[in-house]
Amino acid sequence: MRLAAVPVALAAVVAMTGCSKADSGGGGSAGGEGVAADATIEEYRAAFEDVDPIDLNFQVASPNPEAHASLRDREFAESLEEWSGGKITVNIHYAGSVAAPTEVPAALTDGRLDMAHYYTTYEPQEMPGFVDMTTSMVQAPSTPLVGEIVSHAALQEVSFNTPEIMEEFTSRGMHVINPANPNGNISMVCADERSTPADFEGAQIRGNAASHKVQVEALGGTITSVELAEGYEAFQRGILDCSLQSPATALAVGWLEVAPHVYFPQEQSFAPGPGSLVAGAKWEQLPLVAQQLIFDRQREYTSAEFFNALESVRETSDAASAAGGSAQYLDAESEVALTSANEGLVKGLEESENLDGAALNTAVKESIDKWTGISEELGYTDEGGFEDFASWYKGSEDFEDREYLQAISDRMFDEIILPHRPS
117: left (phi over 0), alpha (psi -120 to 50) or beta: beta
Q: How far apart are CA 124 and CA 374, in angstroms?
A: 31
Taking Cα atoms as reference points, which of 298, 277, 276, 275 lies closest to residue 17? 277
pLDDT of residue 22: 34
Whole-number Å distance between alpha carbons of 204 and 325:
19
290 and 153, same domain (yes or no): yes
**182 shares its domain with 311:** yes
Q: Measure the CA–CA gap between 134 and 180, rounded to whole angstroms.
A: 10
In a domain, 422, yes or no: no
Q: What is the CA radius of gyration of the chain?
A: 20
- Tell me whether strands 222-224 and 2-3 are parallel, antiparallel or unpaired: unpaired
User: Based on the domain organization, do 293 and 334 belong to the same domain?
Assistant: no
pLDDT given for residue 279 in this prediction: 98
Q: Are residues 89 and 219 in the same domain?
A: no
- Say if residue 220 is in the same domain as residue 166: no
Instruction: Note the pLDDT of residue 348.
Output: 97
Name the DSSP letter for residue 274: -
If asked whether residues 196 and 249 sit together in one domain, one would say: yes
Domain at 217, CATH number: 3.40.190.10
Residues 61/251, Cβ–Cβ less than 8 Å: no
100 and 182, same domain (yes or no): yes
The C-alpha atoms of residue 392 and residue 404 are separated, in whole angstroms, by: 13
How many domains, in total, are found in the chain? 2
pLDDT at residue 20, as a whole number: 37
Q: Is 324 left (phi over 0), alpha (psi -120 to 50) or beta?
A: left
**86 CB contacts (<8 Å, ≥6 apart)?**
none
pLDDT in tens, the chain (423 residues): 433 333 322 233 333 333 333 333 445 767 899 999 999 999 999 999 999 999 999 999 887 788 877 899 999 999 999 999 999 999 999 988 999 989 999 999 999 999 999 999 889 999 999 999 999 999 998 899 999 999 999 999 999 999 999 999 999 999 999 999 888 889 999 999 999 999 999 999 999 888 999 999 999 999 998 888 899 999 999 999 999 999 999 998 899 999 999 999 988 999 998 999 999 999 999 999 999 999 999 999 999 999 999 999 999 989 999 999 999 999 999 999 999 999 999 999 999 999 999 999 999 999 999 999 999 999 999 999 988 999 999 999 999 999 999 999 999 999 999 999 999
The predicted model scores a pTM of: 0.90
Instruction: Please tell me whether residue 204 adopts helix, strand or coil conformation.
Output: strand
Q: Identify whether the C-beta of residue 362 lies closer than 8 Å to the C-beta of residue 353.
A: no
Q: Does 288 reside within a domain?
A: yes
For residue 341, give the amino acid letter: A
Same domain, 153 and 10: yes
The domain of 120 spans: 2-186+271-319+353-416
Output 225-231 pairs: Cβ under 8 A, ≥24 positions apart. 227/10, 228/10, 228/11, 228/253, 229/8, 229/9, 229/10, 229/11, 229/63, 229/96, 229/253, 231/206, 231/255
> How many whole angstroms separate alpha carbon 413 and alpha carbon 171?
25
DSSP 3-state of 276: strand
Greatest Cα pair distance, the chain, in angstroms, is 67
SS3 348: helix
Task: Give me the CATH number covering residue 119.
Answer: 3.40.190.170
At 118, give phi and psi (nearest 5°).
Answer: -85, 130
Residue 117 falls inside a structural domain: yes
Helix (H) or strand (E) holding 54: strand 54-59
| Cα separation, 264 vs 384, whole angstroms | 14
- Checking phi first, is residue 32 left (phi over 0); if not, alpha (psi -120 to 50) or beta? left
Same structural domain for residues 123 and 242?
A: no
Q: Spell out the residues 6+ positions from residue 19 whose beta carbon is closer than 8 angstroms to its own.
A: 25, 26, 27, 166, 175, 176, 177, 420, 422
Decide the pairing of beta strands 54-59 and 88-93: parallel
